[in-house]
Structure 1
C-alpha cells in the first residue's frame, strides 16, 4: 500500500485533483440508488411518465459525469504511475551500472536479471487500476453512512458482513506470503534452466547434458507448480469469500429489509436503494482486498530492487590529473575474495615505470584477472594502494581513470546493437576510416569485408555468435579506440590463431614505440620475452618479481625480436 500512496501523493497538485475527482465520483455513485428509490416510490405510485423521463435523464447525466471523471482520474493516475515506473527503472539501471563492480558481481547474474524483470511486476501491481481502487475504498464509508440514514439496522448488517470479508481476506493473504516467496525463488531457478537451454546449445548437445538438465528442470517446475497451486488456492479463497460475502449481504439486507418494510419502518424503494448502497460499499472494499496478492508480488519485486539500491555506489567525485604519464606504483598490495581462506596475493611492492612492458604470469585461478580488474579500478585492494603518477587510485575519479586505460578483459562481452556502436562506445566520435584501419591492423579486414553491412552489422546475444578469436580482437579494437596511456590486456592471445598472434605482436610493438605503459596477463612466451619485468602470481602469498637483466634499450630490442619471431612463425 505504501508504494500506491507514494505514487498518489508524489505530486500534491495531481493528488488533490484525484482526491476531488474520487469524491465527486462517489457522490455521483449515489445516483443509482437514488434513481431506484425515486422510480419505485414516485413513478409506481403516481404513474406519471414525465416523472420517469426526468428521473432517467437525471440518472444518465449523473452516469455521464461519473464516467468522464473516472476517465480524467485514470489519465492523471497513468501520468503519475508512468513517472514512478520510469524513476524506478532509472534507479535500477543506475544501481546496475554505477554500483561498485565487486558488490554487483556478488549477486548472481540470474538474480540480477530477475530483479530487473521485477519492473514489469511492479508496473502491473501498482498500476492505474489499483490506484483507482485505493482512492475509491475510503468512500465505502460514504455509502455506509447514507445506508445508516436509511436504516441503522441494515447498515449494521452490512458493516458486519464487510468486516468478516476483510478479516477472511487478511488471513488468507497472510497464508500466501510463504508460497509467494517460494514461487519467486523457484522462478529464478527455472529461468536459469531456460537460459542454459536457450544459450548453451553446444553444451547440451555435445555432452548429452539434456537428460540431467531436464531432470533438474522437471523437479524445479514441479515445485514451482506446487507453489503456484497453493497460491492459486489462497487466491480462490479470497475471491470466493468476496463473492460469498456479496451474496450473503444481499440476502441479509433484503431479508431484514423486508421485515422493516412490513413493519412500516422502510418503503420498498428505500430497500432497493439500501441494497445497492451496501453492494457498492462491499465492492469498493473487496477490490482493495483482492489486489493485496498483486501488491504482495509488487512489494517482493520492490524488495529485490532494494537490494540493488543498497549496493555501495562508485564515487561520482574524485581527483584527476592534467596529464597521466603512465607510471604505476604498487605499495603493499594485497587482495582476497570474501570468505576466501587465503589471499590471492599480498605484500606486492613494485614500481612500473612509464613506457615499460610488464608481464603478469600464473596458472588459472592464480589471480591474473583479479589483478587486471584492480588496475582497471573495477575492484579495490584489500590492503595497500595503487598510485598513478603518485595519485592514489582510490581518490581518482573513476570515469577519468577509465579514459586513461586501454583495457581488454578476459571475458569479452558486447551489447545488442551495431558493430560500430560497440567498437566506439569509448569514443563515439571515431571515424569509420580509423576503426577499419585498426581492424585491418589486427587482421580483421576479411571479417569486416565479409559482414553484410560492415560496421553496421548488428551484434546479437552479446556477441556470443562471433568466433572467440575474432571477438577478442574486436574487443581490443574497442579498447584501443579509447587512446589511453596505460594498456591492460588480460590474456590477449587466448583463442587467437597464428595470424592473429602476429597482428597482436605488431600492435604491441607499435604501442611500445608510442611509449605506452603495457601490462599483460599472459603465459605466452613471445610476450613474456619482450617484458622488462615479470610478476609471477604462482608464488604465494607474495608474488615473485623477475626483472630483465638488460636495460630498457635491450628490453625494447627484445620486443622487436619477439615480434619478429612471431611474425616469421
Structure 2
C-alpha cells in the first residue's frame, strides 16, 4: 500500500475516508465544507476533529478502541485508523473466512478484498463508527416540543458518569465523617471510665482504616471533578471560538474589545464549575445526615443548627438581589474599559501623533474608579455573607456546648456525646457556609453566562443542517439582480436596486466617489453580507446556496484596508493556503512585486512582520495582501485599491504582472487611480448606491470627460 500524498489532498486520509462514507450514505460534502474553520494538525483531519467534520454532512460518529475481530458488523461501514497516519474504510468483515473488504483513500471508491492477517499489523486498535443521523421532515408530527441542546449544559451532561462517581464518593466521605465523632464519644464514655485499652486499640485501628479510605476517596473525588471540568473546558472553549469566528458579519459586535471581554467571561464560568463549587454543592444535602445524628445523640442539640442555617440562608437570599445588580454593572463597566484598552493599543501611533493620550487616560481612570467602587461593594457584601456564616458557625458550636452542659447536669447526655455533637455541628454548618460564600462567584458567573448565551445565539454563516451546493470549480460569471443592501444600524442604503452582469474572464473597473458603494459590491460577492433584497448569482447559482468556504477559496481578495497577522511573511502570504508549495509562494510573491524585497532580506520569507504588519511599510503590506490573494490561483479576483500605497514604479510593475496573470480570470478592480484602468476592458460607475454608467472603457471614459454621467439624486 502506497503512502498517502498529503500535498494533493488537504485533510489527509481521514478526510478522504469521510468523503467516501458521505458518498456511500448519499450525504454530499465537499472538501472545503468539511474542513472550514476546523483546527487541523499539519493540514490533516485528526480523530479529535473527525466528529465535527462528519456532523456537517449529517453523520454521527463514535471512536471505539476494539480489536479488529470484536468490531460490530452491524455498524459497518467504519473508518479504521492505521499506522503511519493512514486510514481506510472497512465495508465488511468475514470472521470465518478471515477476510475483509476495505476502501483505501488512494483508490477512490474501489473496494479491495484484504486478508485479516495483512490488515492486523497495520491496525492501531481504534475505529470510528459512522452512521447517518435520522432526521424528521415536516410530515412527522411533533407530539411534544423537544428542547434544543444547550451549548453549555449539554457538554456538562456528557460527563455525567464522572459526576455520578463524584456523588458516590461524596456519599462515602460524608458517611465516614460520622466515624470520628463516634470514635471520640466511645473513647470518653466507655474506654476511659473502664480503662479498656484493648477496646481503644480496636477502635483506633478501625478509625485509621476509615481515615485512609476517606483520604483516597477525597483524592479520587478531586481528580474526577477536575477531569470533568477540564474536559468541559476544552470542548466549550472550542465551541465558543468556533461560534465567534463563524458569526455573520452583520451580527458582529460594535466593539471588539467589549466583545472580547464578554468572551473572556467564560473564565469565571469555568472556575465556577471547578472543584470547590461542585464539592460544596455535593456536600450540602448531607447537612441533614449530620443533623439527624446530632438529634439521635440529643434532640435539643439540633435546634441551634436549624436556627443558624436559617439565619445564614435568609441573609444570603436577602443580599442576592444587590449582588446580581452589582455583577451586571461590573460586567458592563469591565467590557467598556477593555474596549478602551484594545482601541488605544490598536491606534497608539495615532494617539501619540495628535497628543490624545490624556483623553484616553481620563476615560480609563474614570472606568477604573467606577469598577473599583463597584468591586468594593461586591466584596463587602460577599465578605459579610462569608464572615457572617463563620460567626454563625461558631455561635452554633457555643450554643450546643451550653445546651449540652445543662443536659449532662440533668443526666440526659454523656460527656462523650457532647463532644461528638460539637464535632458534628462544625461538619453540619461547613457546607452551608461554603454555599453562602459562593454567592458572589455565582452571580458573576451567571452574568457572564447570560453574555455568553447572547454570543452563542448569534446567527452563523454555516448553520447546522444547512445543505450547500458544491462548486469546486468556478468559472467566474457574476450577476447582480435588483440588489438592495443596507448595513446594520445604518439608515442609509449602501446599494439601491443594483443590476449588472460580469462575464467569466471579463475585466471590469468600478469607479465612484467615497461612500458610493464600491467596496460593498465586493463584500457581497465574497458572501460576507447578504443582500436585503434581490439576488447575486455566481455561475448562475445564488450565492446563498454556495458554501462560504468554497466560495472564498475561489476568490482572490485584496481589501482596501490591509490587515496582517503576527508571524512571518510566509505565514501571512499563505493565510488561505497554509500548506502551499514553495513554488506557489514564490510565484505569488513575484507577481505582487515582493520578490526583490524578499531576496534582499537575510531572513527571506521568514522575516517577522509584527502585529498588524507594523514592521513593514504601507506599500509592502499592500504587496503582501496581493500575494495572499493570488496564492490559491483563484479564477476570480476582487481588487480594492490594490496600488493605493505603492509608488509609481511598483504600481507599473504590478500592472504588468496582473495583466499577464489575469488572462482568462474574472477581475474586478476598484480604484480612484486612472492609471489602473489599463487593467480593465469595461467600466462601471456607481454613485449613491446606484449604477450610473456601465459600458466599454473608452465609451464610459469619454462620457465622464464630457460630464454626461450624472450623480445619484
Q: TM-score of the superposition, structure 2-length normalised?
A: 0.73
CA distance in 2, matches of 1:500, 1:56: 89
| Matched residue, 1:496 | 646
Deviates more, 1:438-447 or 1:256-265: 438-447
- Contact 1:533/1:545 (<8 A) preserved: no
Are 2:588 and 1:438 aligned? yes
Cα separation, 2, equivalents of 1:464 and 1:309: 33
Alpha-carbon distance, 1:279 to partner? 1.1
1:470 maps to what in 2? 620
* 1:70-469 matched pairs, under 5 angstroms: 70-104=218-252, 106-315=253-462, 316-321=466-471, 323-449=473-599, 451-469=601-619
1:397-434 Cα offsets, whole Å, 9 max, x none, are 21211121111122322333443233223223322233
Shift of 1:57: 3.3
Mapping of residues 55-74 of structure 1, within 5 Å: 55-74=203-222
Q: Which residue of 1 aligns with 2:672?
A: 523
SS at the partner of 2:499? strand
Q: What is the CA distance between 1:157 and its match in structure 2?
A: 2.0
8 Å Cα contact 1:166-1:286 kept in structure 2: no
* Structure 2 CA distance for partners of 1:351 and 1:115, relative to 1, 3 Å: same
SS in 2 for 1:543: strand
Instruction: Report Cα offsets for 1:101-134 as digits up to 9, x if no partner.
Output: 2212x44211221133123222212112211211
Contact 2:257 2:340 in 1 (8 A): no
CA drift of 1:87 comes to 1.9
Moved more, 306-315 or 197-206: 197-206
- Partner-residue secondary structure (3-state), 2:267: helix
**Conserved? CA contact 2:250–2:487, under 8 Å:** no
Which SS does the other structure have where 1:191 is aligned? helix
Residue 242 of structure 1: how far off its partner (Å): 0.8
Deviates more, 1:410-419 or 1:32-41: 410-419
* Alignment partners' CA distance in 1, 2:591 and 2:156: 58
Q: 1:7 to 1:330 in 2, by over 3 A?
A: closer
Aligned to 1:34: 182
In structure 2, how many angstroms separate the alpha carbons of the residues matched to 1:250 and 1:5? 39
Return the alpha-carbon distance in structure 1 between the equivalents of residues 562 and 507 of structure 2. 23
* Count of aligned pairs: 550
Whole-angstrom CA distance in 2 between matches of 1:441 and 1:198: 33
Tell me the distance in 1 between the aligned counterparts of 2:236 and 2:245.
14
Residues 7 and 166 of structure 1, relative CA distance in 2, 3 Å threshold: farther
Q: Does the Cα contact within 8 Å between 1:190 and 1:221 map onto a contact in 2?
A: yes
Q: Deviations 1:347-403 (Å, cap 9, x if unpaired)?
A: 111111111111222333322222211111110111111111111111112121112
Mapped to 2, the partners of 1:466 and 1:275 lie a distance apart of 72
Report if aligned partners of 2:511, 2:672 keep a CA contact under 8 Å in 1: yes
Any idea what SS the aligned residue of 1:492 has?
A: coil
Match of 2:691 in 1: 543
Q: Distance in 1 between matches of 2:423 and 2:521?
A: 73
Q: 1:322 to 1:129 in 2, by over 3 A?
A: closer
Say which SS state the counterpart of residue 265 (structure 2) adopts. Answer: helix
The aligned counterpart of 2:171 is 23
Q: 1:275 to 1:322 in 2, by over 3 A?
A: closer
Counterpart secondary structure, 1:545: strand
**Range with greater deviation from structure 2 (165-174 or 377-386):** 165-174
Separation of aligned partners in 1, 2:614 and 2:216: 53
Q: How big is the shift at 1:209?
A: 0.9
Deviation at 1:253, TM superposition (A): 1.0
Distance 1:107 1:29 in 2: 54
Q: 1:450 to 1:270 in 2, by over 3 A?
A: farther
2:438 and 2:357 mapped to 1: Cα distance? 40
Q: C-alpha separation between the residues in 2 aligned to 1:94 and 1:427?
A: 19
Cα distance per residue 1:446-487 (max 9 Å; x no partner): 442455533233454243443222122112211101221111
Shift of 1:285: 1.9
Deviation of the 1:322 alpha carbon: 5.6
| Structure 2: gaps (5+ residues) | 1-149, 702-713
- In 1, Cα distance between the equivalents of 2:345 and 2:472? 48
| CA deviation after TM superposition for structure 1 residue 246, in Å | 0.9
User: In the superposition, relative to structure 1, how do residues 521 and 58 fare at CA in structure 2: closer, same or farther (>3 Å)?
Assistant: same
Q: What SS is found at the alignment partner of 2:694?
A: strand
Say if 1:7 and 1:40 are closer, same or farther in 2 by CA, change over 3 A.
farther
Cα distance change on mapping 1:419 and 1:549 into 2, 3 Å: closer
Question: Judging changes above 3 Å, is the alpha-carbon distance between structure 1 residues 317 and 115 closer, same or farther for their aligned structure 2 residues?
Answer: farther
Relative to structure 1, the CA distance from residue 6 to residue 273 in structure 2 (aligned partners, 3 Å threshold; closer, same or farther) is farther
3-state SS of the aligned residue for 2:320?
helix
What is the Cα deviation at residue 34 of structure 1? Answer: 1.3
Q: What is the root-mean-square deviation in Å for CA atoms of aligned residues? A: 2.5
1:534 is displaced (CA, Å) by 2.6
Q: How far off is 1:224 after superposition? A: 0.9
> Hey, what's the Cα distance between the residues in 1 that align with 2:578 and 2:634?
15
Pair 1:457–1:57, CA change in 2 (3 A): farther
- CA distance, structure 1, for counterparts of residue 494 and residue 473 of structure 2: 32
CA distance in structure 2 between the aligned counterparts of 1:100 and 1:511, rounded to whole angstroms: 32
Q: Which deviations, in whole Å up to 9, do the C-alpha atoms of 1:115-162 show, x marking residues without a partner?
A: 331232222121122112111111111111111111221112211111
Task: Using the TM superposition, give the Cα deviation of residue 252 of structure 1 relative to its aligned residue in structure 2, in angstroms.
Answer: 1.1
Structure 2: distance between partners of 1:197 and 1:338: 25
Deviation digits for residues 294-319 of structure 1 (CA, Å, limit 9, x no counterpart)? 12222222222212211112235311
Higher relative contact order (CA 8 A, sep 6+): 1
CA 58–417 in structure 1, closer or farther in 2 if over 3 Å, else same: farther
Structure 2 vs 1, CA of residues 282 and 8 (structure 1 numbering), >3 Å: closer, same or farther?
A: farther
SS at match of 2:497: strand
SS in 2 for 1:176: helix
Q: How many angstroms does 1:38 deviate by? A: 1.8
State the Cα deviation string for residues 498-517 of structure 1 (Å, max 9, x = none): 233123212321233x2111
* Alignment partners' CA distance in 2, 1:356 and 1:126: 58
